Structure formats: C-alpha cells, structure tokens
Amino acid sequence: RNNAEKFEFQAEVSRLMDIIINSLYSNKDIFLRELISNASDALDKIRFLSLTNKEILGEGDNAKLEIQIKLDKEKKILSIRDRGIGMTKEDLIKNLGTIAKSGTSAFVEKMQTSGDLNLIGQFGVGFYSVYLVADYVGVISKHNDDKQYVWESKADGAFAISEDTWNEPLGRGTEIRLHLREEAGEYLEESKLKELVKKYSEFINFPIYIWASKEVDVEVHTDEDEEEPSSESSSSEEDSGDEDAVKSEDEEKKSKTKTVKETTYEWELLNDVKAVWLRNPKEVTDEEYIKFYHSLAKDFSDDKPLAWSHFTAEGDVEFKAVLFVPPKAPYNLYESYYNASKSNLKLYVRRVFISDEFDELLPKYLSFLKGLVDSDTLPLNVSREMLQQHSSLKTIKKKLIRKALDMIRRIADEDSDESTETEKKDERSLDDDEKRGQYAKFWNEFGKSIKLGIIEDATNRNRLAKLLRFESSKSEGKLTSLDEYISRMKSGQKDIFYITGSSKEQLEKSPFLERLKKKNYEALLDFFFPFRFHAKSFTSILSFLLVFSNLEHVIFFTDPVDEYLMQYLMDYEDKKFQNVSKEGLKIGKDAKNKELKESFKDLTKWWKSALSSENVDDVKISNRLDNTPCVVVTSKYGWSANMERIMQSQTL
Ligand code: ADP
Ligand code: MG
C-alpha cells in the first residue's frame, strides 16, 4: 500500500511472536477466546463511556453492542468484529506492537520452561495468539476520535499502519481479519467455531453472532413441459398488471412446484448472555461456576478454583457478588505490592461493567481473589472518580472481606480430617477427595497474603491469625495452625514459642532449640546468627546459659515477612508469642535459676566487662540451652538477629 507507514515490533514482542509462530502447542483454539475477550473489553469500555454521554454510541447498527464472527472459505479469512471503543492510529501502534507490557517478558520466560500457551491471556498479551493460526493478520479499527486505520503484519518483525481507504467503513469498533494458515483450515468450519464459542466464551456479556449458513427449502415453480428459467426473466419485464395475469395463467397450466435446497446466510446468536451472578446460587452448577471463573480470570488452565462464594448482600447497600480463590497465584502478585493498582474484582453497576481497577473494593492483601460485584445501590451516571468516593463502597468492602475470609476458612475446615459436614451448595462444592490438601495448596500460593493481611488489617487480625500456618520443630514438614499448636501445648506452657530465620534447615540446627528438642517440645521456626555481635545501635545480650528447664515446641518462621508479622501479632487466644532467640524466655518454672545466678555471678560479671558494653548489654545465666555453652540473644524490644539480617539485605 502506498500510504503505509512501517513500524518495528518492540524486541520482546517480536520474541513472543516468534515463539507463538514456532510453537508446537497443540491447542490452537485459544486465539478465538482471546479475540472475543478483547472485543468484549472494548464493548465494556464504550458502554461505560456512554453512561455519561449517550451520543457516544451513535445510532442504528453502531449502537448495537455485539460481536460478530464471519468466515470467507474461499479466501480463507476468519474475521471477528466488534462495535466497541475501537483504536486510534496511536492506539494501534502502541497496543499492538511497540509498547511491551509488563507481562510480555514474564510470558516469554514462562514459555521457555512450560510452553503452555493457555495462560497467555493472564499475561496481557492474548492478541498475539492469532499467530497460532494465521500467517497474516489485519486489524481494521475506527475510534470515535480518529479516522479508520488498518494495522497489518505477517509477524516478520514489522507491522504497517495505513489510513483505510478501501474497506467498508466500520462506523465504530474493530475487525480482526485472520488469513488462516494452510493447516488451520478447521477454523473455517462454522461448527468448529460454534463449539469454541460455547466452550470458552459462554460467559461473555455481549451477544456473539456468527454469519451462519443455512440450508433452506425453496419452492421453485417449474413448468412441466418447459424447464427453461429464461421465460421468467422475460416475464418480469412486463408491467405488474399483466404479471398477475401471467401467473394465474401458469396455474391454469398446472405448473409444478419443486423444493430445492438453497444456502442462505443469517446472523446466528451463539450465547445467551446470562449473568451468572444474578441467578439463584442453588441453580448454578459447579461446572458453570468453574467455567465462569475461567472466563472471568482469563485462566484457562485445567485447575479448578480452590473455592468460591456467591452471595447477595441486603440492607442499606445491596449487591451481589461472586468471589473465587484461584488455583494459582498470578506471576506478579507481590510485585510492587504497595504501589501497583491491585484489585482483581470487576465492578458492575446494574449489570453494566464499570471497572476492574477499583482498589476500594478489596484491601491489597486480598487482591489475589478474582470475582465480581454488581450493585444496585451505586449510581450509574457518575464519573469513576465520583464513584470511587461513594460512601457505599466502604460497606461493600467490609462485607466482601468478611465473605472472603469465611471462604478461605472453609477451605481449611473442609480440608481438616474431622470435617464431614455437608457443605452448602452455593459456597463450595468439591468432592471430598478434592478437598484434601486444598489448604496446603492455598497456603503455598497465598500464605504470604494472609501474613500481609495481619500487618495491614487490624480489624480482622484475629480472623486472619486463624488462617496462619507454620512449620514447627515437631510438625515434620507439615503445616500447623496456631490452634493446633495450642492444643498440643504442655501443661504450664504459657507462651507460643517461635524462632525466625532464613531456612528450616538452619533453624533446626539452632542451639536455641536444643532444650526443647531434648524435652520433646514444639517450636514454630526461623534462623540464628551464630556469634555476631551487634554494636551500639542494636541492644544485644550475651546469655550464658546453663540448662535446666524445658522449652516447649517452637514454631518456625522462615519467610522474611514473618518478622514484620510478629510485630503486629502480639498474642493469640491469650497466649503471648515468645521468640526463643530473644531475652526473657521463660521456660516452665525456673526453680534453680536464682541459685545458679548467684553461683555464676563472678563469671558473668567478668565476662561482661571483658566484652565491654559496646558489644553487649548484659551477660546472663539462662536455661534455654542444652549442649551449646552460650548464645547471643536479642533484647526483648530490639530487632531479632533475623530482622537485622533482613534490614541489612535491604540497605545493601
Ligand atoms: P489485554 O487484552 O490483556 O490487554 P491483548 O494482547 O489481548 O492484551 O490486547 C492488547 C491491547 O490491544 C488491549 O489492551 C487493547 O488496548 C487493544 N485491543 C485489542 N483488541 C482490541 C479490540 N477489539 N478493540 C479495541 N482495542 C483492542
Ligand atoms: Mg486480551
């Protein structure tokens, strides 16, 4: 084309396209749902804008918010068209090639190890999946603010943009034309496309049509003696009055009617645009929830969501919501955690999609949830900014958090051995076998979020504490809850013992645990800095320890976030948390302690002056060790050695 401008794909995008083109990935079907999902997003955008400005939709066909699929068997072209927001020339250049999204390189990396293209939509690069089936793709687009443009590329590192002077005007929206590869002929079969839409795009909220062929019976009048059709055309030249006369004459001649098959085309609707969340939960099947999750989360892996909750809130603020716990954490869950916009809930107001970037719906620590909220209470005709400040949002958020935590709790409850309760259908229904080990899976993927929740959300701290899991000195690789820990506490044990550090292996060797191991106690786990003196800024105490008492089981904390966590979680069910590497550890009753202190007084005094106050605050007798002669512990209110290590690694 002589008016075409050429552009090169951004390097990562180019690599991504190469991978897609050369992929041996067998499930090429995925391109269609990606295109339909993009069309749906574009329609959501224009519908949202039209809330405050009706004119934006235009009139006639333009105002029809729908998706159309069309086939051209001869030219081997499959096209998908929407009347969504469309793209300006600038949009085409940026969105389809020159600006790499954060997910691009993450996806490229992922492809190198797994090759599972199914996840492409989650990485925000779904469009490029068209090159699984096409070797040449054209994107025609018309945005209200610009002329109609064509983007085209053979995926050879470059694309071209031209002002569209030859295609039919779209009015508004986008048409993607796929020139299918030789081996992708199956996508020219209507039946295949219908099947795919049913399978993957059932929950798209706009009507999807296909230009479907239909065999119809057509009655053709034939003359018994004369089968030449030319006689009819000649009759049409006569004026209407005579025509009637001719027909009646024909009938008199007893011309026979014959039925022949003829192919006609018409738009056939492929989905019934049902809003799952508006239906009665009792009538929605598990399979429907699972499929709805796939569609909502753009997660088309074989994994099922770990849990879901579908409910209606009534009262001052009315809304319906469906929440899902995904089977896996997204690749960027904890990336720029406090900076990035995080919500994964879609907000609808009276069935109209408003936004999926409303941070006000869920706190950051619950941003791993997927789902949807539809409220009748919120106003429709206001800007996003106004909506963001609407007082109802606080109530919605509060209720969502409650429901979310209940849902997570349920995974844990149903996973535990005792649970034989019959579960409520609308909330979670997996087979008993499927429930086993579900919480460990949850914890593995999202445990950090729960810990962050304890730091962020004072109101729900206790609820969240119930969801915590740790390894302990006695859990043998399994996870233990605080409740379980407490239930195993020895009589007379007042505190929950824990130790923090970088790995379980290190912690298990810690001299701090000597006593409790010997006495068969349990500790939650972390790490130990052997003989490192903390100068000045840190208060450290060298404790000279002789052994008598019995330390209980200790919890192991190995995640850096655990250190922060423990600054917020002071106690649980009236039990204090006691870091076993800190001063003030009380292990059972120290009957002989006083005596000991007295008899070693000279030694501790000498030692303290020998080390000087720059290095240690004090030297004490303690009962926490067994074989190791002495250890360095931190003062009660100082940073633990592990915390110091974390702080150091952050400043370096
Ligand atoms: P994602 O949909 O996750 O953003 P894609 O690779 O599927 O990633 O699409 C890239 C971008 O191209 C979209 O964000 C959107 O801006 C634009 N786009 C794609 N298809 C359409 C369409 N049918 N209408 C308008 N914009 C589109
Ligand atoms: Mg997309």
DSSP assignments along 306-375, one per residue: SEEEEEEE-SSS-EEEEEEE-SS--TTTTTTTTTS----EEEEETTEEEES--TTSS-GGGTT-EEEEEE
**Tokens standing for residue 80:** 């998908």
**Is the pLDDT higher at 445 or at 551?**
445
The complex scores an ipTM of 0.99
User: Which of 360-374, 522-536, 638-652 has the highest average model confidence (pLDDT)?
Assistant: 360-374
Ligand nearest to the CA of 125: 1
124 CA: nearest ligand 1 atom = 3
d(CA 459, CA 452) in angstroms, rounded, equals: 13
pTM: 0.76
Enumerate the β-bridge partners of residue 319.
313, 375
pLDDT of the residue at 549: 27
pLDDT of the residue at 306: 96
- Out of 16, 34, 37, 38, mutate this one to test ligand 1's pocket (max ligand atoms within 8 Å of CB): namely 38
Q: How does residue 19 score in pLDDT terms, banded at 50, 70 and 90?
A: very high
Instruction: Give mean pLDDT, residues 94-122.
Output: 88
SS3 of residue 554 by DSSP: strand
125 CA: nearest ligand 1 atom = 6
Any binding-site annotation on 125? yes
The set of residues, in sequence order, having a beta carbon less than 8 Å from that of 39 and lying 6+ positions away, is 67, 80, 81, 82, 84, 174, 206
Pocket lined around ligand 1, Cβ cut-off 6 Å: 34, 38-39, 41-42, 82, 84-87, 95-96, 124-127, 174
Instruction: Give mean pLDDT, residues 570-596.
Output: 71
d(CA 136, CA 133) in angstroms, rounded, equals: 9
Any binding-site annotation on 122? yes
Enumerate the β-bridge partners of residue 160.
6, 152
d(CA 240, CA 246) in angstroms, rounded, equals: 10
d(CA 54, CA 319) in angstroms, rounded, equals: 25
Output the CA torsion sign for 34, 40, 46, 49: negative
**Tokens standing for residue 27:** 């499930």
Helix or strand run (H / E) with residue 156 = none
Instruction: Give mean pLDDT, residues 601-611.
Output: 77
d(CA 207, CA 184) in angstroms, rounded, equals: 26
Any binding-site annotation on 300? no
Is 34 in contact with 120 (CB distance < 8 Å)? yes
d(CA 304, CA 296) in angstroms, rounded, equals: 13
pLDDT of the residue at 510: 74
The closest alpha carbon to 94, from 10, 202, 217, belongs to 10
The beta strands (E) that lie in 131-207 are given as 134-142, 148-153, 158-163, 173-180
Give 128 Cα–ligand 1 centroid separation in angstroms.
10
Q: Amino acid identity of 573?
A: E
Q: Mean pLDDT, the chain, as a whole number?
A: 81
pLDDT of the residue at 456: 87
- Out of 95, 131, 161, 208, mutate this one to test ligand 1's pocket (max ligand atoms within 8 Å of CB): namely 95
Length of the chain: 652
Q: How does residue 365 score in pLDDT terms, banded at 50, 70 and 90?
A: very high
Angle between helices 560-568 and 438-456 (to 10 degrees): 60
Which residue's CA is the closest to the ligand 1 atom numbered 14? 95
Given a cut of 60, whether residue 178 has pLDDT beyond it is yes
Given a cut of 80, whether residue 47 has pLDDT beyond it is yes
Summarised one tens digit per residue, pLDDT across range 501-518 is: 767 777 777 777 776 777
Q: How does residue 569 score in pLDDT terms, banded at 50, 70 and 90?
A: confident
Q: What is the dihedral of CA 611, 616, 618, 621, to 10 degrees?
A: -80
**Is the pLDDT higher at 237 or at 381?**
381
pLDDT of the residue at 236: 45
Enumerate the β-bridge partners of residue 323.
309, 371
Give 86 Cα–ligand 1 centroid separation in angstroms.
10
pLDDT of the residue at 77: 98
Given a cut of 70, whether residue 209 has pLDDT beyond it is yes
Beta pairing class for 208-222 and 256-269? antiparallel
Q: Amino acid identity of 324?
A: F
Helix or strand run (H / E) with residue 290 = helix 286-297
Instruction: Give mean pLDDT, residues 52-68.
Output: 92
Q: How does residue 169 score in pLDDT terms, banded at 50, 70 and 90?
A: very high
**Tokens standing for residue 137:** 């793709």
**Tokens standing for residue 15:** 């690599």
The closest alpha carbon to 121, from 283, 270, 299, belongs to 299
Instruction: Give mean pLDDT, residues 328-353.
Output: 82
Given a cut of 50, whether residue 651 has pLDDT beyond it is no
Residue 652, Cβ density class (10 Å: 0-12 exposed, 13-18 middle, ≥19 buried): exposed
Enumerate the β-bridge partners of residue 374.
320, 348
Q: How does residue 136 score in pLDDT terms, banded at 50, 70 and 90?
A: very high
Residue in the structure block whose two tokens are 């999204």:
101
pLDDT of the residue at 15: 94
d(CA 259, CA 588) in angstroms, rounded, equals: 98
d(CA 405, CA 398) in angstroms, rounded, equals: 11
pLDDT of the residue at 427: 53
d(CA 463, CA 117) in angstroms, rounded, equals: 38
Q: What is the DSSP string of 236-266?
A: HTS-HHHHHHHHHHHHHTTPEEEEEEEEEEE
pLDDT of the residue at 647: 62
Say what percent of the chain tops pLDDT 70.
78
d(CA 350, CA 318) in angstroms, rounded, equals: 11
Enumerate the β-bridge partners of residue 8.
158
Any binding-site annotation on 102? yes
SS3 of residue 78 by DSSP: strand
Residue 273, Cβ density class (10 Å: 0-12 exposed, 13-18 middle, ≥19 buried): middle
**Is the pLDDT higher at 183 or at 651?**
183
d(CA 371, CA 293) in angstroms, rounded, equals: 8
Instruction: Give mean pLDDT, residues 243-256.
Output: 57
Instruction: Give mean pLDDT, residues 474-498.
Output: 84
Given a cut of 70, whether residue 383 has pLDDT beyond it is yes
The set of residues, in sequence order, having a beta carbon less than 8 Å from that of 497 and lying 6+ positions away, is 516, 521, 522, 523, 524, 551, 552, 553, 554, 555, 578, 580
Question: DSSP secondary-structure letter at 355?
Answer: E
Comparing 141-150, 313-322, 492-501, which segment has the lowest mean pLDDT? 492-501
Give 204 Cα–ligand 2 centroid separation in angstroms.
13
Is 401 in contact with 366 (CB distance < 8 Å)? yes
Instruction: Give mean pLDDT, residues 390-412.
Output: 94
Is 622 in contact with 544 (CB distance < 8 Å)? yes
SS3 of residue 348 by DSSP: strand
d(CA 152, CA 4) in angstroms, rounded, equals: 10
Given a cut of 50, whether residue 336 has pLDDT beyond it is yes
Comparing 57-66, 348-357, 400-409, which segment has the lowest mean pLDDT? 348-357
d(CA 454, CA 460) in angstroms, rounded, equals: 8
Q: Please work out, in degrees rounded to the nearest 5, the angle formed at the alpha carbon of residue 106 by the alpha carbons of 104 and 109.
A: 110
The closest alpha carbon to 581, from 519, 614, 532, belongs to 532
pLDDT of the residue at 593: 65
Residue 285, Cβ density class (10 Å: 0-12 exposed, 13-18 middle, ≥19 buried): exposed
